[in-house]
């Protein structure tokens, strides 16, 4: 049965939702988290992260180390024909992990700290009194039940119920993505590889290959709808699978990498790395965090640590409001919005959005593989890499 009352009700038990729950719990709030999946983490999502000491302080020492299955500190970016490339190295390596194990561990830690997480429970509606959200209606097989709470935190992903309620246009925020876990991928080196795809009359895409274990690599494709004037297509799984194989035919290096590979898992989804939603506190009583708020880093699409830490901060704000028995006013809403916007992780993401946006707008505006090659040829000579 779903707990009927709470100080803070949270929709979604991903990194943002669990972070929000732990943040609210740290302020002494009564918190309940509802999660639609029967098992947290059963849908494999992003599986790369950078070590974050603040996140580890909350989850406990050794959390990152016990989930590391690979560590990658190099990246290679290919031009649209794969002829030219640019290599980069990072002092802060990517940690590759297994999503299901990572999330199961995070969930167990949260529960051990006293966080109530009810799985197999879908949020079907928000309780609203005029313009103020005062709870959520959730369903777990039987009749819907009301969870009344002065604050609801939407951590329900890129296409959850809170996204529908706010009515924000997420076309340029939610970027269509397909990922495959493949055995037999030929990766000559332990590096992340990215493949730009800028062809006239083709969707603007980026392919990627991430080495995992000696047997498995992650391959996928992301569509930059935020740089396309006419999005046009519906990017369901069938369309994304077609795009992936069409993309491979343009890219000889990519195609050679996966020539003998076999897919063991696939997922079509949307990664909200096209920018933030207009407001993190869209209505009195409702706060958004994680993917629901577009709080995803553009570098690799990894929003795990940022979602968790911004969620933790959001949860603390929500708990303080509930504990003080405050009333929702325009001032309260603005103050909460301002506090989230000033969080270091939000500011870091915003800064990267601006920097990456400038570079990508130049590269994507070329809209021609030959011109793209010319730019990469110059870059490769300047960096000492490439053909």
Confirm whether 363 is domain-assigned.
no
Confirm whether 263 is domain-assigned.
yes
Is residue 21 over pLDDT 70? yes
Tell me what the mean pLDDT of segment 276-292 comes to.
Answer: 95
Tell me what the mean pLDDT of segment 32-47 comes to.
Answer: 86
Same domain flag for 198 and 266: yes
**CA-based nearest residue to 68, from 98, 90, 44, 104:** 98
Tell me: the pLDDT tens digits for 137-170? 999 888 899 999 999 999 998 888 998 889 898 8
Is residue 262 over pLDDT 90? yes
Distance (Å) of CA 113 to CA 18, 21, 80, 101, 141 = 11, 10, 49, 19, 27
Give Cβ neighbours of residue 67 (< 8 Å, ≥ 6 apart): 95, 97, 98, 101, 102, 105
Same domain flag for 248 and 287: no
Same domain flag for 251 and 279: no
Instruction: Tell me which DSSP letter residue 324 carries.
Output: T
CATH of residue 216: 3.30.9.10
| pLDDT value of position 4 | 42
Give Cβ neighbours of residue 296 (< 8 Å, ≥ 6 apart): 271, 272, 273, 302, 303, 306, 307, 349
Tell me what the mean pLDDT of segment 240-255 comes to.
Answer: 95
Confirm whether 77 is domain-assigned.
yes
Tell me: the pLDDT tens digits for 125-135? 999 988 899 99
pTM above 0.75, yes or no: yes
Beta bridge partners, 35, equal none
- Whether residue 285 contacts residue 328, with contact meaning beta carbons closer than 8 Å, is answered with yes
Is residue 53 over pLDDT 70? yes
Tell me: the pLDDT tens digits for 294-322? 998 766 556 899 999 999 999 999 999 99
CATH of residue 335: 3.50.50.60
Same domain flag for 374 and 303: no
Confirm whether 357 is domain-assigned.
no
Same domain flag for 149 and 253: no
Same domain flag for 330 and 245: no
| pLDDT value of position 3 | 42
Number of domains, the chain: 2
Confirm whether 65 is domain-assigned.
no
Count of Cβ atoms closer than 10 Å to residue 278 Cβ? 11
Q: What gap in Å lies between CA 67 and CA 337, rounded to an integer? A: 34
Same domain flag for 40 and 154: yes
Same domain flag for 103 and 167: yes
Same domain flag for 332 and 282: yes
H/E element holding 59?
helix 53-59
| pLDDT value of position 1 | 39
Same domain flag for 79 and 211: yes
Confirm whether 349 is domain-assigned.
no
Same domain flag for 32 and 167: yes
Confirm whether 351 is domain-assigned.
no
Tell me: the pLDDT tens digits for 339-385? 999 999 999 999 988 887 777 777 787 777 888 888 888 877 776 67
Query: For residues 368 and 210, which has the higher predicted lDDT (pLDDT)?
Result: 210
Same domain flag for 219 and 331: no
Confirm whether 189 is domain-assigned.
yes
Tell me: the pLDDT tens digits for 217-237? 999 999 998 887 776 668 888
* Domain interval for residue 222: 72-91+175-271+368-383
């Amino acid at each position: 049965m779903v707990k009927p009352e709470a100080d803070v009700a949270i929709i979604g038990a991903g990194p943002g939702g669990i972070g929000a729950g732990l943040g609210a719990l740290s302020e002494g709030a009564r918190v309940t988290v509802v999660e639609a999946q029967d098992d947290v983490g059963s849908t494999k999502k992003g599986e790369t992260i950078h070590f974050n000491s603040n996140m580890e302080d909350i989850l406990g020492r050794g959390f990152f180390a016990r989930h590391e299955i690979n560590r990658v500190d190099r990246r290679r970016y290919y031009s649209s024909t794969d002829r030219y490339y640019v290599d980069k190295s990072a002092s802060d390596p990517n940690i590759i992990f297994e999503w299901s194990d990572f999330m199961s561990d995070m969930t167990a830690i949260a529960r051990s700290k006293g966080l109530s997480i009810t799985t197999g429970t879908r949020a079907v509606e928000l309780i609203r009194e005029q313009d103020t959200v005062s709870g959520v209606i959730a369903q777990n097989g039987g009749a819907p039940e009301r969870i009344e709470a002065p604050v609801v935190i939407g951590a329900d992903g890129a296409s959850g119920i809170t996204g529908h309620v706010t009515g924000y246009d997420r076309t340029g925020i939610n970027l269509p993505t397909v990922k495959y876990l493949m055995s037999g991928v030929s990766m000559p080196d332990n590096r992340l590889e990215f493949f730009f795809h800028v062809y006239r009359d083709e969707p603007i895409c980026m392919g990627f290959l991430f080495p995992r274990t000696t047997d498995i690599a992650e391959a996928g494709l992301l569509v930059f709808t935020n740089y396309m004037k006419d999005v046009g297509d519906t990017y369901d799984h069938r369309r994304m699978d077609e795009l992936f194989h069409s993309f491979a035919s343009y890219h000889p290096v990519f195609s050679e990498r996966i020539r003998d590979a076999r897919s063991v898992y696939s997922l079509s989804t949307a990664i909200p790395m096209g920018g933030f939603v207009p407001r993190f506190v869209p209505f009195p009583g409702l706060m958004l965090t994680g993917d629901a708020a577009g709080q995803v880093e553009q570098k690799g699409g990894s929003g795990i640590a940022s979602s968790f830490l911004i969620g933790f901060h959001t949860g603390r704000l929500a708990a303080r409001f509930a504990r003080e028995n405050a009333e929702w006013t325009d001032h309260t809403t603005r103050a909460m919005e301002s506090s989230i916007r000033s969080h270091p992780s939000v500011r870091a993401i915003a800064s990267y959005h601006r920097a990456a946006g400038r570079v990508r707008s130049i590269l994507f505006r070329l809209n021609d593989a030959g011109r793209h090659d010319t730019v990469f040829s110059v870059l490769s000579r300047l960096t000492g890499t490439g053909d």
